[in-house]
Amino acid sequence: MIAVIDYGIGNLRSVQKGFEKVGFEAVVTAEKSMLDKAAGIVLPGVGAFRDAVNSLSKSGLGEEVIRQIAKGKPFLGICLGLHLLFTQSEEHGITQGLDVISGRVIGLPYGVKIPHMGWNQIKKFQDTPILVDIKEGASLYFVHSYHAVPEDKNVIGTTTEYGIEFVSSICKKNIFASQFHPEKSSKLGLKILRRFGEMTE
Amino acid sequence: MLAKRIIPCLDMKEGRVVKGVKFVNLRDAGDPVELAAAYDEAGADELTFLDITASHEKRDIMLDVARRTSEKVFMPFTIGGGIKSVEDIRMVLENGADKVSINTEAIKNPNLIHEASRKFGNQCIVVAIDAKAASSSQSPVTSRKDSELPTPACPPLAGLPTNKWEVFTHGGRNPTGLDAVEWAKKVESLGAGEILLTSMDRDGTKDGYDVELTKAITGAVNIPVIASGGAGKLEHFLEVIVEANADAVLAASLFHFGELSIKQVKEYLRDNGIPVRL
């Protein structure tokens, strides 16, 4: 079973249904014990960084996520779920994140339309097992106004161009987190969810 | 490169798609979910559902469509029509829609845009703007031939110079007195994440998108703008993207009746140097 963390933010339904579509049971949950029981954890979300951090810390879900990641459980972060892993975000003032990945979340550059919304291409920075079905240059769905900047370049999975070349996914051991939305990226996105599902087996 | 988006729009009434969709191989051409799946298969980048139901069960029907679509189709979709409150928006989003489109209510209560974008993020708040060229006897709109302009349904706007467009509601019936460019700037400042811009002059004409109007709006705001109204042939899509810098293009009957396929439009755009997802 895959646990999709419900922290009161964003569209959780599509992620859950996406996993079901590719044959994996997924449960939307706000229970810490479920994260422990689950074979894999998904932190989805679109929304404000600060609200998300507050909600994760109040419920203790944030600490549980850190604990489960440290235990080596497969983890998938999506969009805000990518940002939350970082040390801090500049979104509406500096806010501390879960600090699982060292780095910052900053705004997209001036001169491009904000939010970055739509299908954009990925460039592979390294071979990432979960993206094995996704070809270089494939288009995936994005919707965001901020992006993550990791300190360690070795965690970069893919990059994408929008005014600048930004980090569109990271991978580090059992962690994969993407700026794009697999659950909204049609067939290609479902392939990513399927790979994650297989990693939990 | 960020792809220009091609968005089919489905008009719905009582949970059924109206304006007849003539897709081949559909068991039920009136079922929005089946159509959404067909458009996903056909390569649409997003979908917009516009609900025109006028009953009190409206919200439940809309939520049901959102819920069923999000179970079957894994692409972004927007629901619009009759959204009146933050609570309406919350429920539509919770049932799986990615964005909501607000039109009349945004004009009646602009604060709704502000509240909703603060609560759910501006990425999910689309403000639909229906605009018509403002006609003035002293200073006619110069961007196109007068003979092409429909008879105005309302008295000319006082004091508006040339190349102005007025915001309308209720399918172009009710003038609001708002200048479309000013209104676009206002909704951006209030927190709208996208503008769905429909030219009421061009809607249904197949004469092409209103390039001047679209250009005026994309030049005034820094959020994505979807051009709508008037698509009739391949060149129209290219024109509004190249000349007016539209971020996305919306069409309804053209796709529904199979006059053009999504793939045809995308291949044509690609061959003309426009980034698309193929």
Express each pLDDT in B136-181 by its tens digit.
Answer: 433 444 444 444 445 444 545 555 456 899 999 887 788 999 999 9
Name the architecture of domain A2-199: 3-Layer(aba) Sandwich (3.40)
Tokens at B94, concatenated: 């919770």
- Rounded to whole angstroms, what are the CA distances from A17 to A2, A24, A184, B74? 12, 9, 11, 9
B99 → chain A, closest CA residue: A11
Give me the active site residues of B, please.
11, 130
A48 vs B: CB within 8 A: yes
Whether the Cβ atoms of residue A62 and residue A31 lie closer than 8 Å to each other: no
**What is the reported pLDDT for B120?**
87
What residues pair up with B165 in beta bridges, in sequence order?
B133
Express each pLDDT in A58-89 by its tens digit.
Answer: 999 999 999 999 999 999 999 999 999 999 99
DSSP letters, B201-268, are TTTTT-S---HHHHHHHHTT-SS-EEEES---SHHHHHHHHHTT--SEEEESHHHHTTSS-HHHHHHH
Quick check: helix, strand or coil at residue B257?
coil
Q: Hunting for tokens 């994996």 — which residue is that?
A: A24
Q: What are the chain A neighbours of B2 within 8 Å (beta carbons)?
A: 116, 118-120, 142, 162
Upstream peptide bond of A115 is cis (omega within 30 degrees of 0):
yes
Q: What is the CATH number of domain B5-124+184-271?
A: 3.20.20.70
Nearest residue, CB atoms, B121 vs list A48, A118, A186: A48
Distance CA A183, CA A171 (A): 18
Quick check: helix, strand or coil at residue B145?
coil
**More confident: A11 or A150:** A150
Residue B5 to chain A, least CA–CA distance (Å): 7
Contact assignment for A17 to B95 by CB distance below 8 Å: no
Q: Which residues of B touch A (CB under 8 A)?
A: 1-5, 40, 45, 67, 70-71, 74-76, 93-98, 120-124, 193-194, 222-224, 247-248, 277
Distance CA B156, CA B175 (A): 10
Q: Hunting for tokens 């990945």 — which residue is that?
A: A101
Q: What are the chain B neighbours of A144 within 8 Å (beta carbons)?
A: 123
Contact assignment for B94 to A46 by CB distance below 8 Å: no
Could you tell me whether strands A164-172 and A175-178 are parallel, antiparallel, or unpaired per DSSP bridges? antiparallel
Nearest residue, CB atoms, B120 vs list A47, A145, A189: A47
Q: Residue B236, exposed/middle/buried by CB under 10 A (0-12, 13-18, 19+)? A: buried
Averaged pLDDT for residues B16-31: 65
Q: What is the mean pLDDT of chain B?
A: 86
Confidence check: pLDDT of B59 > 80? no
Q: Hunting for tokens 């960084």 — which residue is that?
A: A49
Q: What are the chain A neighbours of B74 within 8 Å (beta carbons)?
A: 14, 17-18, 21, 183-186, 189-190
Distance CA A20, CA A23 (A): 5
Whether the Cβ atoms of residue A47 and residue A173 lie closer than 8 Å to each other: no
Q: Would you kindly state where each structural domain of chain B is located, as residue ranges?
A: 5-124+184-271
Whether the Cβ atoms of residue A89 and residue A101 lie closer than 8 Å to each other: no
Q: What are the chain A neighbours of B96 within 8 Å (beta carbons)?
A: 11, 13-14, 17
- Rounded to whole angstroms, what are the CA distances from B44 to A41, B6, B10, B77, B178? 30, 6, 12, 11, 33
Express each pLDDT in B204-259 by its tens digit.
Answer: 899 999 999 999 999 999 999 999 999 999 999 999 999 999 999 999 888 988 89
Averaged pLDDT for residues A102-130: 95
ipTM: 0.91
Whether the Cβ atoms of residue A46 and residue B123 lie closer than 8 Å to each other: yes
For chain B, helix (H) and strand (E) counts, in that order, are 10, 11
Whether the Cβ atoms of residue A127 and residue A112 lie closer than 8 Å to each other: no
Q: Which helix (H) or strand (E) holds B14?
A: none
Letter for the amino acid at B273? G
Contact assignment for A47 to B45 by CB distance below 8 Å: no
A116 vs B: CB within 8 A: yes
DSSP H helices in A26-112: 32-37, 49-59, 61-70, 80-83
- Taking alpha carbons only, the member of A33, A140, A154, A36 closest to residue A78 is A140
- Taking alpha carbons only, the member of B173, B164, B175 closest to residue B138 is B164
